[in-house]
Structure 1
Amino acid sequence: MLSNASRKLSGILVFIASVFFAFSVQAHGPSRLKVQETITIDAPAEKVWKTVGAFNSLSWLPPVTSVEMISGEPDQKGAERVVHVGDQSVTEALKKYDAAGMMLKYKIIKDNTALLPVTNYQSTLKVVADGDKSIVTWKAGFYRGYPNNDPPEDLNDKAAIEAITGLYQLGLRNLKALMEN
């Protein structure tokens, strides 16, 4: 039989463990979100890649007003660009560039949640030949714009997913229209 001191100690340990568990559940924070959009374009992959693979240009992405290279070469890992949408901008870095594989990976290194309600955004654009057509896949992983619990509506998971999905769909539809004309 347990002594009173042992029961008290056991009770205290159970209490501490339950408090720790409650705080660890509360402190979980956001989960990584993912978006992937794919489109088939009636144009040769090389032609599509020439446009999509130009890290120094986003002429095919309608909301973008300009792209400014601030360091490196647009086909070299580490290159950085500032993407302007009106008076807002984000800064992105090229993480991988594979011309032969028609793929590039980049990440936002200076967030702007007023422009895109996301943080820790990393993305991949890939073009694959399908006969005389192209399949373009644009995918990303990111966190919502508000990293703490109880985010405001404009910075929650739903807002982040809708913003990236909308951007990707708009961009890919416009790319298709440009490449097929």
Structure 2
Amino acid sequence: MKLLIAILSLAIATPALAHGPTPRKTDETVTVKANAESVWAKVSEPCAIAKWHPEVTACEKVDDKTSNITLKNGGKIQQQVDELDVANKTLSYRLGGEIALEALPVSSLTGRIKVDADGSNAKVSWMARFYRFDTGNEPPEGQDDETAQNAVDGFIKAGLAGLEAGK
């Protein structure tokens, strides 16, 4: 009986020790004092992010779905468009390639930007799901959930503020 209890205890404890990071989420919305069509034109144009996002200093279009983005902090990320739904004004993307820690402290990220008409204004929603940079059980400081959450929250809020300011 003791042996059975020991085996069951080990079987239950083992998956808990192997648990990796939990996916994180950011979901922000702003109202932009411009019509939805003009805001969508900014969001959907390849590399236009360098014009309206204050954290982006440059963008180079690689092909119809891929752009290399340089951030103000010197980091570089590659954005790959998964879907551009013109009818619903929705851009779905992911970060591709190797994501440098100094760019964004995440190991992976998928996002969606949606523009809706709100009277004569535009409601812009930006959602991202991501994992911290270090996906091990005990990440070092700077590669943990809190750091990743703060960085992604800050990036998205800054982008929405840029759109809101009419850049």
TM-score using structure 2 length: 0.91
Indicate whether 1:139 and 2:130 are aligned: no
1:162 to 139, 150, 157: 150
Whole-angstrom CA distance in 2 between matches of 1:97 and 1:151: 35
Indicate whether 1:54 and 2:45 are aligned: yes
8 A contact 2:55–2:158 mirrored in 1: no
Whole-angstrom CA distance in 2 between matches of 1:114 and 1:56: 21
Amino acid at match of 1:84: T
Query: Paired residue for 2:6?
Result: 15
Query: Paired residue for 1:65?
Result: 57
Indicate whether 1:107 and 2:107 are aligned: no
Whole-angstrom CA distance in 2 between matches of 1:33 and 1:155: 13
* Structure with max Cα Rg: 1
Shift of 1:104: 0.5
Shift of 1:93: 0.9
Amino acid at match of 1:159: T
In terms of mean alpha carbon deviation, does 119-128 or 108-117 score higher?
108-117
Amino acid at match of 1:88: G
Structure 2: runs of 5 or more not aligned: none
Sequence identity (%): 32
Whole-angstrom CA distance in 1 between matches of 2:115 and 2:107: 25
Indicate whether 1:40 and 2:26 are aligned: no
Amino acid at match of 2:56: V
Q: 5 Å matches for 1:26-37?
A: 26-37=17-28
Three-state SS of the structure 1 residue aligned to 2:165 is: helix
Whole-angstrom CA distance in 2 between matches of 1:81 and 1:16: 52
Query: Paired residue for 2:71?
Result: 85
Q: Provide the alpha-carbon RMSD of the alignment.
A: 1.4
Query: Paired residue for 1:7?
Result: none
Query: Size of the alignment, in residue pairs?
Result: 164
Shift of 1:138: 0.4
Whole-angstrom CA distance in 1 between matches of 2:140 and 2:91: 33
Whole-angstrom CA distance in 1 between matches of 2:90 and 2:119: 18
